Structure 1
Amino acid sequence: MHHLIYYLSVFTIISTIIPFIRHDYWVFRVFEYPRLQKLCLNIVLLTVILTNWFPSEIWEKAVAILLLLNLIYLCYLIFPYTIFAKRQIISSRNPSGKQNLKILIANVYQDNKKAKDYHELINECEPDVILLVETNQWWAEQMSTISRSYPHQITAPLENTYGMLLYSKLPLNGEVNFLVESDIPSIQATVTLNSGQTVQLFCLHPKPPVPQESTKSTERDKEILMIAVKAKESKLPVVVMGDLNDVAWSYTTDLFGKISGLLDPRRGRGFFNSFNAKYFFLRFPLDHIFCSADFALKSIARLRSCGSDHFPMCVNLEYAPQLAQKNEHPVASTAEKELTIEKINA
């Protein structure tokens, strides 16, 4: 047991170091996901070592010191997503009104047949805009009954688990694009708030870097960063949403935020882990809603599971350009801009 604890400690340290290798192969990228799990494991291992097998040999002391440094580094990475950190986007104290945009996003899991649960959730949440991903023709037919309340639609049902359905109560205008791969859609649209303000929407669901989907993160990173550039160039207030198949604290998501200038409502409020709904110990924030600095946040919530392996997310934003100076304004360095161009052209 003594040696097993130290072997686990070495593995935990190595799993933190691996993401520093900026390679697109899935083995390097997948270790970005479980930082919260690594933090918990790190705390347990360090506690066990210090209380049961206090280091006596040089290699044991080295492992314990590295484990302590690893703990500090993981805390540093995760801290921005705790309630103790500064919020990237300020809260709105105004009642919801004509400037608000309430969004519901959900990865429904294509083989899930609990469409009725999503209907109930929509009735409870009453969003203005709904994005459903991993939707095929069966899901499109099941959701057709909401057309009376959500007459504005852009749909791309597919049988490959990458279909998308976008519904809106508000006027919607846009198109389905295939930015990187011919079978992976994204949606670019504008929605008009009740106040008359137009908002630019980008919806995406790229492939994850896992062996059964894609052995590299190249295509995922490319699509995410292409949307980042489009968001930065937009003259309208922007919202980007979807299952990005990337965690909130990854290098790519951080680069996305700097290039696009968009803000993450999670920062300073909590993790809101949306995947995996079936296993509490393997949960990561994969489903995202980012917005430009001219929004304030009315509310953010992870909703109950509806049979999918993802929890739905609901965010209520208020268009408040007069408050933009109170929000953070992420800025990319020259090196980060060059890296983005390199990844887009890959």
Structure 2
Amino acid sequence: MLLILTFFTLFLLLATLLPLSRQTHWFIRGFDFPRLQFALLAIVVLISSVIVLDLHMLLSQALIVTCALCLAWQLWWILPYTLLWPKEVKAAGHTDVSKQLTILTSNVLTPNRNAGALIALVKQYQPDVLVTLESDQWWEDELTVLESEMPYSVKCPLDNLYGMHVFSRLPLTEREVCYFIEDDVPSIDVLVELRCKETVRMHCLHPAPPSPTENAESAERDAELVIVAQSIADTEQPVIVTGDLNDVAWSATTRLFRKISGLLDPRVGRGMFNTFHADYPFVRWPLDHLFHSRHFTLQAIQRLPSIGSDHFPLLTTLCFTPKKGASQQAIQADRSEHEWAKQISGSKQVNKHDVPKPGA
């Protein structure tokens, strides 16, 4: 039993220390994702160690302290996405419907052919904007039935798992499909006009993940997030960023994105809203995101039922309440983090001027 507990404690130590490195290799960055699972494992190992081991032995004490420190570190990352943490975004309360904006973000999974399930969710929840990821020409053809109610759209059908579409009930202007980092990985950048006539700059992103089957490094993903964040930091416009970032909410790079951009995360203090993997309840984490400027407060956020994809859809309703939201505080970047961001964008020879600024 001592050998088993030693093995799992050393594994937890490795899983805790590796992500501290800023190395971008997929193997190292992969340890950013299952922090919740690591925390649960640490709890089991810690309890087992206290019950089973001889607490008078120096080795036992070292194993227990090491496991406890690993647990504390993992909890530090994930606790903000629980009800135990203060909410970063204020509740909107009762607001004028003309100032509301509901966005449904859904990674549909290209081979998935259950378009009817997504269409049914759109009919049921009546989002103002639908953002689909991994949508190819087949998905575009199937979703044309929505155009009678959502006449404004931006379409980028691709069969490489990076197609993207935006359908909207609200007017979309300054529409642009961009390829910031990779020639076959698009983003969509638009200006959305709310019913109250205010305009919102929106960026829809789906950078490629670090993985043995995609990019060996996270450099491409990280660079896209950084230059969008730097571009947003220069504006006082209302801004929303949504999509499958192929990065978890609690990773160092997503935190860097939030710090540089100044955007808020409505999940903080409310829950994780794990959207991936839809088929495996014990291996889930938040990959699909919506961040926004402090012009907005939150009416509602929820994970919707499965549509047959490996991702659950995410539904978010924001309210344009700049006076109420003015006191909301985003997490701040220090000088070293600004330098890190410059290194990330410089490594791919891109910068914030590559990002469109709808409405600027």
Residue in structure 2 matched with residue 47 of structure 1 by the alignment: 47
Query: Is 1:99 equivalent to 2:134 in the alignment?
Result: no
For the 8 Å contact 1:186–1:204, the answer to whether it is kept is: yes
- Report the Cα distance in structure 2 between the residues aligned to 1:277 and 1:286, rounded to whole angstroms: 11
Query: Is 1:285 equivalent to 2:286 in the alignment?
Result: yes
For the 8 Å contact 1:103–1:314, the answer to whether it is kept is: yes
SS of the equivalent of 2:259 reads helix
SS of the equivalent of 2:67 reads helix
- Report the Cα distance in structure 2 between the residues aligned to 1:325 and 1:144, rounded to whole angstroms: 39
Residue in structure 2 matched with residue 36 of structure 1 by the alignment: 36
SS of the equivalent of 1:84 reads coil
Residue in structure 1 matched with residue 274 of structure 2 by the alignment: 273
- Report the Cα distance in structure 1 between the residues aligned to 2:117 and 2:96, rounded to whole angstroms: 25
AA at the equivalent of 1:44? V
Superposition deviation, residue 52 in structure 1? 2.1
SS of the equivalent of 1:116 reads helix
Spell out, residue by residue over 1:19-73, the C-alpha distance to the aligned partner (whole angstroms, 9 max, x if none).
0011011111110100000000000111111112344432232111110111122
Residue in structure 2 matched with residue 27 of structure 1 by the alignment: 27
Superposition deviation, residue 326 in structure 1? 2.8
Superposition deviation, residue 338 in structure 1? 1.6
- Report the Cα distance in structure 2 between the residues aligned to 1:75 and 1:54, rounded to whole angstroms: 27
AA at the equivalent of 1:292? S
Listed as ranges, the gaps of 5+ residues in structure 1 are: none
How many residues align structurally?
346
Superposition deviation, residue 80 in structure 1? 0.9
How is 1:159-178 mapped onto 2 (pairs within 5 angstroms)? 159-173=159-173, 174-178=175-179
Give TM-score scaled by structure 2 length.
0.94
AA at the equivalent of 1:325? A
Residue in structure 1 matched with residue 299 of structure 2 by the alignment: 298
| Further displaced range: 321-330 or 8-17 | 321-330
AA at the equivalent of 2:131? L
SS of the equivalent of 2:332 reads coil
Residue in structure 1 matched with residue 343 of structure 2 by the alignment: 342
How is 1:1-346 mapped onto 2 (pairs within 5 angstroms)? 1-95=1-95, 97-173=97-173, 174-346=175-347
AA at the equivalent of 1:110? T
Residue in structure 1 matched with residue 353 of structure 2 by the alignment: none
For the 8 Å contact 2:95–2:319, the answer to whether it is kept is: no
- Report the Cα distance in structure 2 between the residues aligned to 1:246 and 1:52, rounded to whole angstroms: 37
For the 8 Å contact 1:90–1:326, the answer to whether it is kept is: no
- Report the Cα distance in structure 2 between the residues aligned to 1:331 and 1:44, rounded to whole angstroms: 35
Spell out, residue by residue over 1:74-120, the C-alpha distance to the aligned partner (whole angstroms, 9 max, x if none).
22221111111111110011145111110000000110010000010
Give TM-score scaled by structure 1 length.
0.98
Percent of residue pairs identical: 38
SS of the equivalent of 2:98 reads coil
SS of the equivalent of 1:268 reads coil
Runs of 4+ in 1 over 6 A off after TM superposition: none
**Closer, same or farther: CA 54–95 of 1 in aligned 2, 3 Å:** farther
- Report the Cα distance in structure 2 between the residues aligned to 1:233 and 1:150, rounded to whole angstroms: 31
SS of the equivalent of 1:249 reads coil
AA at the equivalent of 1:220? R
Superposition deviation, residue 286 in structure 1? 0.5
- Report the Cα distance in structure 2 between the residues aligned to 1:332 and 1:76, rounded to whole angstroms: 18
Q: CA RMSD in A?
A: 1.1
- Report the Cα distance in structure 2 between the residues aligned to 1:230 and 1:101, rounded to whole angstroms: 23
- Report the Cα distance in structure 2 between the residues aligned to 1:229 and 1:130, rounded to whole angstroms: 25
Listed as ranges, the gaps of 5+ residues in structure 2 are: 348-360
For the 8 Å contact 1:262–1:290, the answer to whether it is kept is: yes
SS of the equivalent of 1:345 reads helix
Spell out, residue by residue over 1:135-157, the C-alpha distance to the aligned partner (whole angstroms, 9 max, x if none).
11000001011011111000101
For the 8 Å contact 1:297–1:316, the answer to whether it is kept is: yes
